[in-house]
Amino acid sequence: MNTVTKTHIQVRYAETDQMGIAHHSCYAVWFEQARTEMIREAGIRYRDLEKMGLLLPLTGLDCRYKIPALYEDDLIIETSVVKLTAARISFGYRVLRDGTEIAAGQTDHAFVGADFKPLNIKKHFPQVFKTLCGFLTEDSQ
Amino acid sequence: MNTVTKTHIQVRYAETDQMGIAHHSCYAVWFEQARTEMIREAGIRYRDLEKMGLLLPLTGLDCRYKIPALYEDDLIIETSVVKLTAARISFGYRVLRDGTEIAAGQTDHAFVGADFKPLNIKKHFPQVFKTLCGFLTEDSQ
Amino acid sequence: MNTVTKTHIQVRYAETDQMGIAHHSCYAVWFEQARTEMIREAGIRYRDLEKMGLLLPLTGLDCRYKIPALYEDDLIIETSVVKLTAARISFGYRVLRDGTEIAAGQTDHAFVGADFKPLNIKKHFPQVFKTLCGFLTEDSQ
Amino acid sequence: MNTVTKTHIQVRYAETDQMGIAHHSCYAVWFEQARTEMIREAGIRYRDLEKMGLLLPLTGLDCRYKIPALYEDDLIIETSVVKLTAARISFGYRVLRDGTEIAAGQTDHAFVGADFKPLNIKKHFPQVFKTLCGFLTEDSQ
């Protein structure tokens, strides 16, 4: 399995602001889209995880903006799993335009149940855990 | 009870687009904020309605844009109930800046239960129905 | 030239609300994405139009919601030009899921210059006008 | 001058997601609203800065989420300037609900001109620089 997923995003008009660039809050939405696609590639639909009672709320978000993204820009988000335990997962993202990194970020998540209480994914969803392990980049293992 | 509620909205930076004006999709969000405040003035919190099993999903949205709204503009949304039956409700909105109407709109909603099936509000939530009736503008009655 | 453009949209997590459905304000954003793709198919990039000094701000938005859209739903937006004059243009949209229409809408736009003053597109941008004419559905001509 | 600004935010329905909590991308929008209010308290309108040719695009965003925010929650954002040089500024934010910190974050910005090139604010906008210095918390000085 490939440990890096590439997601195509095209900047929407509604995502621009009056500076004429993509608003910084949109990157978090793109990252979300990218990790959704990553786990879908492994045959898991995030909406099915939620129905099974597994939620991944964010506990942290970090983003560095180097070069602004513009309306109609075709961007590639490269996503990888940079950390994984039975209680938590972190995804890393690189935003590329024409091969140049214009931004990079990370999101941290806790595994919780429908009641928002911590949940040991290794114990309660061993198959999902195994799949996510497959995404771990070598230098994180 | 006053039949028109006035809600203050200040245009956020994230709501602007690269034309330098508030993006048209934001008006629907402001309308939502305005009707939330309207029913709160009557002592009903919309989140409590949802907990009681009463949802008001939109069935229609209409908005006419006359003059663009700009970043940091202080706007007043005047909200009223323009139609009300046991199955449906429609709210009307006027967006004012310094007393001038810059946009106007309407949202149509169905009363449904948590299962999204139609629900007779007059029968199942008579008290809520009565409160909403109080908002009906005279010419709608 | 085909008079109806089909745009694929996948519902993002950030677009859902606590009712568990896509928020109604997102449809306006999808419509925008759809008309951007429509004119791109004709070889025009909307961002180039803006650089040339031609803006298409909304003067009206109308949307009817029949069946809620859900997270990760794959939607098709069918876009067409329903009205066109030298001063104004209206686009029509149908939102389909698995071939079923779940929503439909229309946006009305004025042709204006960078100063937001009305602009005769037929006179100032005859080539763009001609291209847009090609999109007119037969029953609108 | 007070070095901490308090901004009231009420969670909008559109800001919730299907987990039933405020979507994490909204915090960046609230932070923006909060720093807009901070500098307005000092008599500067951010939109006037832009007209004068001074932009503050984000170069970094960091947010830690401790407790989810819910629809209609009344939140207080406490904003302060945590770093300031002639080239860059960083704002710190605490999100409070009923006195409890539910999230905290920081945004980093560069001072640039309308051409997005670095700009020495101390040299070109000494008065603005002086005002921003007044916001520096003591332990940052």
Residues of A involved in catalysis: 17
Cα B42 to Cα C1: distance, rounded to the nearest angstrom: 55
What average pLDDT is seen over chain B?
94
Euclidean distance between CA atoms C6 and C95, whole angstroms = 10
pLDDT higher than 70, residue B71? yes
pLDDT at D138 over 70: no
Nearest C-alpha of chain A: how many angstroms from B77? Answer: 22
Asked whether the predicted pLDDT for residue B119 surpasses 60, the reply is: yes
Nearest Cα of chain A lies from the Cα of D48 at a distance, in angstroms, of 13
Best B8, B9, B13 member to test D by mutation, with max D CBs in 10 Å, is B13
Tell me the average pLDDT across C77-89. Answer: 97
The answer to whether A82 and A91 have CB atoms below 8 angstroms apart is yes
Residue D109 Cα distances to A112, B52, D41, angstroms: 34, 45, 19
Q: Is B20 near chain D, with CB under 8 Å? A: no
Of A12, A29, A70, the CB nearest to C32: A12
Task: Determine the Cα–Cα distance for residues B4 and A66; give it in Å rounded to an integer.
Answer: 47
Pick the closest to residue D108 from D94, D122, D88 (CA basis): D88
Question: pTM of the predicted model, to two decimals?
Answer: 0.95
C-beta atoms of B36 and D13 within 8 A: yes
What's the pLDDT score for residue B10? 96
Domain ranges across chain A: 5-140
Q: What is the pLDDT of residue B140?
A: 54
Sign of CA dihedral A119, A121, A122, A124: positive
What pLDDT is recorded for position B42? 86
Q: What is the pLDDT of residue D2?
A: 64
- HEC sequence for C31-77: HHHHHHHHHHHCCCCHHHHHHCCCECCEEEEEEEECCCCCCCCEEEE
Higher pLDDT, A109 or C134: A109
Cβ-proximal residues to B69 (8 Å cutoff; 6+ apart), any chain: B11, B21, B22, B75, B95, B97, B102, B103
CATH code reported for the domain at D5-140: 3.10.129.10
State the CB neighbour count (10 A cutoff) for residue A87: 14
Whole-angstrom distance, CA of residue D6 vs CA of residue D24: 20
Amino acid at the residue C2: N
A72 and C33 within 8 Å at the Cβ level: the answer is no
Q: Which chains touch A (3 or more CB pairs under 8 A)?
A: B, C, D
Closest chain A CA to residue B16? A17
Domain spanning B5-135: CATH superfamily: Hotdog Thioesterase (3.10.129.10)
Chains that touch C (3 or more CB pairs under 8 A): A, B, D
Interchain CB distance below 8 Å, B14 and D36: no
Closest residue, chain D, to A68 (C-alpha): D57
Nearest CA in chain B to D25: B14
Q: Is D32 on the interface with B (CB under 8 A)?
A: yes
B74 touches chain C (CB under 8 A): no
Provide the pLDDT for residue A140. Answer: 54
User: Is the distance from CB of B102 to CB of B68 less than 8 angstroms?
Assistant: yes
Q: Sorting pLDDT into bands at 50, 70 and 90, what band is C42?
A: confident
Strands A88-97 and A74-84: antiparallel
Position B49 confidence tier, pLDDT thresholds 50, 70, 90: very high
Q: Does A96 touch chain D (CB under 8 A)?
A: no
| Angle made by CA atoms A124, D69, D71, in degrees to the nearest 5 | 110
Q: Which one is catalytic: C17, C48, C62, C74?
A: C17
Contact C71, C26 (CB under 8 A): no
Looking at the complex, does the CB of residue C70 fall below 8 Å from at least one CB of chain A? yes
Q: A72 to chain C: which residues are within 8 Å by CB?
A: 36, 45-47
Percent over 90 (pLDDT), chain C: 90
Cβ of A16 within 8 Å of Cβ of B20? The answer is no
Tell me what pLDDT residue C141 has. 47
ipTM over 0.90: yes
Residue C62 to residues A39, C58, C123, D119: CA-CA distances in angstroms? 36, 11, 29, 44
Residue spans of beta strands (DSSP E) within chain A: 5-10, 58-65, 74-84, 88-97, 100-110
Indicate if the pLDDT at residue D141 is higher than 50: no
C-alpha distances (whole Å) from B121 to each of B1, B51, C73, D38 are 21, 15, 30, 44
Residues in chain D: 141
Residue-level pLDDT, tens digit, chain A, 141 residues = 568 999 999 999 999 999 999 999 999 999 999 999 999 988 999 999 999 999 999 999 999 999 999 999 999 999 999 999 999 999 999 999 999 999 999 999 999 999 999 999 999 999 999 999 988 876 554
Q: Do C16 and D17 touch (CB under 8 A)?
A: yes
Distance between CA atoms of residues C92 and B83, nearest Å: 26
Residues D126-137, mean pLDDT to the nearest whole number = 90
Minimal Cα–Cα distance from B103 to chain C, Å?
9
**Residue B138: which pLDDT band, with cuts at 50, 70 and 90?**
low
Q: How confident is the model at residue B99, as a pLDDT?
A: 97
What is the tens place of the pLDDT at every residue in D39-79? 998 899 999 999 999 999 999 999 999 999 999 999 999 99
Model pLDDT for residues C43-61, shown as the tens digit of each residue: 999 999 999 999 999 999 9
Residue B136: the pLDDT is 86
For an interface test with C, the pick among D15, D18, D21, D25 (most C C-beta atoms closer than 10 Å) comes out as D18
Q: Is the pLDDT of residue B1 over 80?
A: no
**Per the residue annotation, which of D17, D48, D62, D74 is the catalytic one?**
D17
Q: Are D28 and D61 in contact (CB under 8 A)?
A: yes
For chain C, what is the mean pLDDT?
94
Active site residue C62: no
Q: Identify which of C34, C37, C83, C80 has the alpha carbon closest to the alpha carbon of residue C59.
A: C83
